[in-house]
Chains A and B, each alone.
Chain A
């Protein structure tokens, strides 16, 4: 069964460092997303990406965040200068273009710990 894969599974970084989280969405999917879950809180939307551009972003997704689809398979989330409050589980998700379902397929997540 096709799945969304994410690397690394866990990253520890110092405050102020740059971090890149990587995702390989399901191959025939066209919409890509990043969500995050701070420990003990709900899963929150960060950004959606379609046709090589951001289609929507939340207020969390400020100038420190960026996304890129550098080739036909990878989808990355970059945090330029990490803060303590960026510590969270980051989930990549994708879906095929079918507005009738809205079903997102999630990866297993990348845990980011900022010290």
Chain B
């Protein structure tokens, strides 16, 4: 049951350049999307989120874009820094439908090359 998919298991980006992580979803009831970052031996840490009523949300170096018609979202990190190296998880929920649980993607391991 892959309602949330991250098709790139890994991504390498030069320091200072833009990192773009992608996520696709299939469940049209999802109305809230989140990105989490995870270091080894730690729990996921919330990064940024977006409601389905928006198409863009920005927080410092992080921007999330949502394309509802394509059921696609992306996370842009610019400029990328070595500390951004981690596994990034896309997650979705159907808050407006009373479903608070998060459905996670499989993650993308981002490596920032100094």
Set of chain B residues within 8 Å of A84, measured between Cβ atoms: none
A41:B106 contact, CB within 8 angstroms: yes
Provide the bound-state CA to CA distance between A31 and B42, in Å: 21
A-facing residues in B74-95 (Cβ within 8 Å): 89, 91, 93, 95
Number of A interface residues, CB 8 Å?
27
Provide the bound-state CA to CA distance between A111 and B51, in Å: 32
Set of chain A residues within 8 Å of B104, measured between Cβ atoms: 35, 42-44
Set of chain B residues within 8 Å of A93, measured between Cβ atoms: 43
Shortest A43–chain B CB gap in Å is 4
A56:B99 contact, CB within 8 angstroms: yes
A4:B43 contact, CB within 8 angstroms: yes
Most buried by A among B32, B51, B100, B104: B100
Provide the bound-state CA to CA distance between A58 and B1, in Å: 12
Number of B interface residues, CB 8 Å?
24
Contact among A99, A100, A102, A108 with B43 in the assembled complex (CB-CB below 8 Å):
A108
Q: Is A107 an interface residue (CB 8 A)?
A: yes
B100:A102 contact, CB within 8 angstroms: yes
Binary interface encoding of chain A residues 26-63 relative to chain B, with 1 for a CB under 8 A from any of its CBs, else 0: 00000101010000011111001000000110100000
B101:A101 contact, CB within 8 angstroms: no
Set of chain B residues within 8 Å of A102, measured between Cβ atoms: 32, 34, 49, 93, 95, 100, 102
Known: A101-B49, A103-B46. A108 touches B101 (CB 8 A): no
Binary interface encoding of chain A residues 67-101 relative to chain B, with 1 for a CB under 8 A from any of its CBs, else 0: 00000000000000000000000010101000111
Provide the bound-state CA to CA distance between A98 and B41, in Å: 28
Set of chain A residues within 8 Å of B103, measured between Cβ atoms: 45
B44:A91 contact, CB within 8 angstroms: yes
A-facing residues in B26-49 (Cβ within 8 Å): 32, 34, 36, 41-46, 49
